[in-house]
Structure 1
């Protein structure tokens, strides 16, 4: 598909980028032709195309699908059937994400991940002067590593002081790997790390422990944006860089301005990665009963929201990613997108439909009320409580304090204001339903104990999710998962005021 080039040659890379983005439409047609030609004999494509591999036959005959439409093929391959059910080449690995968690990744146990995380931190601390950047797949993952460090720094220092790793590290690869770095006792380094970690506040702890680090690489867009204040607190102003937009299904785009602020990050689509189609999302007018109108990559419009539909070399055809992307511009002829969130209604009681994007904005606004009290929102999720009439929204919040070893005791008045602040940010349909509590009851925030969301993650990991890929679901319906959170609730608060309606409508119409 691409001309040969030296990936270490910056000039060659930039020249290639200019070429594929300038000729985006031609590249996309070539990609689709190559995918269909290579995979025409597969069981999946034969069933729709009958050997016809032209673009129009593809668009006319192949349905747009989701994981539910596809999982039977994935299960068959996982159970040993030939890869040519969907693809012309051997499938080496099947990745599970939070969108489609099969039982394929159960071997990635939390125990193994814990040993690996511990040893990576130990190596990083021993080599602290040589660390130029730190990172994790997602901001939430990075913060879990910081929490892990907070719980284990004393033991890590002991290992550095003695030159010997803890006995509970039994994984052969971990033991072998750490032996290359932990070669001798280093009491001076251990004391320096202890001095930093034992301070009252962990503000800028990353910069203090790794003084030569230049940036933090992690996804901080979309649903990860809520973690930015905590990332900034711990990282001490180091640039937060979201380099790629990559999903389990395929790579999509690059951030060509890596030092841009997280709120300004846009990803430039790389037309050679897959064949991309998009259908426009009109949030409150989706249920039309008709198939969505699909447009090609070069035909999207600036300012509009779309869900990507991908066709890949590895056997996915017109597959919905479920993401919401907002077009911010074009680089040559390749569109640039801002990642908005997931395309799904997360909460609904009556006529209201609260989408992930709406919920994230509302919570981001409400948690500002915590800052004057030295509190941080560590993580959250939500659900609808329909056990009483009228039903109401429930948010589970895990709170943390910016000062170490201080008990988290949120002020009831502040928390009630947080409840109200969330409601004030939701749309007019929700706020109208709240009038006189006729259709929707007052929103409730349940504060959970420290570590509750780690327990939630462990539950999903035990069901096959990958630690590195796990993202806290913004809405929970799994009854077992809800029981885990309910068992950790330490206090409850409800909104004492009814959100405005007419006045808010007047402002929003300007």
Structure 2
């Protein structure tokens, strides 16, 4: 069956079968969003019915939305902080999730000055990967040529810590970039980067930016897209180029590498 006939959608015709599959999924999930959300809630309640938190309300094996809304209170992060702290300290019992907590995702800390810890499970990384995979098929409907050339995207990891119980605590993008989902990702023409993984994963912000900028400038004739996850990251890159263009051009012209880049993995891949 032809690609343009497998999808009847107001979004428009997909560019290929892979895009068609992604767009079909979006249509299926959003056409009856209320039904889908109720089903997902029921699955969550069924899976986690024996957790300490839900058992606290003594509602048996309820899975319907009306019972959930009427009996489970709306809470804040502070209400769950004692349970989160127990997990952070090493308690591995089923407190909030029937699945083992694999790590903590951290908030930016910009609103209250202190990063919040959000427990997560390995399965959640699969859902994040699925979400990321839906972006380009939609964009490709409106911006042609996204599968051509390379993208100079400035991607960075941030610092991570360990809780007293030994679980990692790090921002969501750092968690993703350090996962096998990213490091061993299959070839995708929509996401061909000039930045080597080693440069993206370098924890030193100067070395990471320098290597990514250098590789992007060196492959400039293939670069058709420039971007960053946050607008502030792109502004940082422009400012960095303004401050370091002389050294960058010297390195490209001479085939050398700034001695300030000392990370052996970054030096090897740059």
TM-score grouping bracket, smaller chain normalisation: 0.5 to 0.7
Structure 1 residue 161, shift from structure 2 partner? 1.9
Note closer, same or farther for the CA distance 1:177–1:48 as it changes in structure 2 (3 Å cut). Answer: farther
Note closer, same or farther for the CA distance 1:135–1:78 as it changes in structure 2 (3 Å cut). Answer: farther
Partner Cα distance (2:203, 2:261) in 1 = 10
Please tell me whether Structure 1 or Structure 2 has the larger radius of gyration of its CA atoms: 1
Matched, 1:70 2:75: no
Of 101, 104, 116, 1:94 maps to 104
Structure 1 residue 83, shift from structure 2 partner? 6.7
Matched, 1:119 2:128: no
- Give the alignment's Cα RMSD to 1 decimal: 2.9
Structure 1 residue 31, shift from structure 2 partner? 0.6
Partner Cα distance (1:129, 1:18) in 2 = 37
Runs (5+) with no aligned partner, structure 2: 1-15, 118-157, 162-169, 171-201
Note closer, same or farther for the CA distance 1:156–1:77 as it changes in structure 2 (3 Å cut). Answer: farther
Partner Cα distance (1:139, 1:166) in 2 = 27
Structure 1 residue 88, shift from structure 2 partner? 2.4
Structure 1 residue 35, shift from structure 2 partner? 0.9
Structure-2 residue corresponding to 1:13: 22
Matches within 5 A, 1:406-417: none
Structure-1 residue corresponding to 2:141: none
SS for the counterpart of 1:125 is helix
Q: Deviations over 1:312-348 (max 9, x none)?
A: xxxxxxxxxxxxxxxxxxxxxxxxxxxxxxxxxxxxx
Matches within 5 A, 1:291-302: none
Structure-2 residue corresponding to 1:129: 221
Of 30, 39, 46, 2:39 maps to 30
Q: Deviations over 1:133-192 (max 9, x none)?
A: 2221211221112112211111211221221222221223322321xxxxxxxxxxxxxx
**By percentage of residues, which structure has more strand?**
1
Q: Verify the 8 A CA contact 2:52 2:95 in the aligned structure 1.
A: yes
Structure-2 residue corresponding to 1:168: 260
Q: Verify the 8 A CA contact 1:96 1:105 in the aligned structure 2.
A: no
Q: Deviations over 1:106-130 (max 9, x none)?
A: 558x961221111111111111122
TM-score (norm 1): 0.31
Note closer, same or farther for the CA distance 1:36–1:138 as it changes in structure 2 (3 Å cut). Answer: same
Q: Verify the 8 A CA contact 1:49 1:62 in the aligned structure 2.
A: no
Runs (5+) with no aligned partner, structure 1: 1-6, 179-510
Partner Cα distance (1:47, 1:82) in 2 = 18
Q: Verify the 8 A CA contact 1:83 1:91 in the aligned structure 2.
A: no
Note closer, same or farther for the CA distance 1:92–1:165 as it changes in structure 2 (3 Å cut). Answer: farther
TM-score (norm 2): 0.56
Q: Verify the 8 A CA contact 1:83 1:89 in the aligned structure 2.
A: no
Partner Cα distance (1:146, 1:124) in 2 = 13
Structure-1 residue corresponding to 2:129: none
Note closer, same or farther for the CA distance 1:8–1:134 as it changes in structure 2 (3 Å cut). Answer: farther
Note closer, same or farther for the CA distance 1:55–1:146 as it changes in structure 2 (3 Å cut). Answer: same
Structure 1 residue 34, shift from structure 2 partner? 0.7
SS for the counterpart of 1:94 is strand
Partner Cα distance (1:71, 1:152) in 2 = 44
**By percentage of residues, which structure has more helix?**
2
Matched, 1:154 2:237: no
Partner Cα distance (2:40, 2:242) in 1 = 47
Of 30, 48, 56, 2:57 maps to 48
Partner Cα distance (2:212, 2:261) in 1 = 12
Partner Cα distance (2:93, 2:204) in 1 = 29
Q: How many residues align?
A: 172
Q: Verify the 8 A CA contact 1:49 1:61 in the aligned structure 2.
A: no
Note closer, same or farther for the CA distance 1:85–1:134 as it changes in structure 2 (3 Å cut). Answer: farther
SS for the counterpart of 1:129 is coil
Partner Cα distance (1:22, 1:67) in 2 = 32
Partner Cα distance (2:73, 2:85) in 1 = 20
Note closer, same or farther for the CA distance 1:14–1:106 as it changes in structure 2 (3 Å cut). Answer: closer
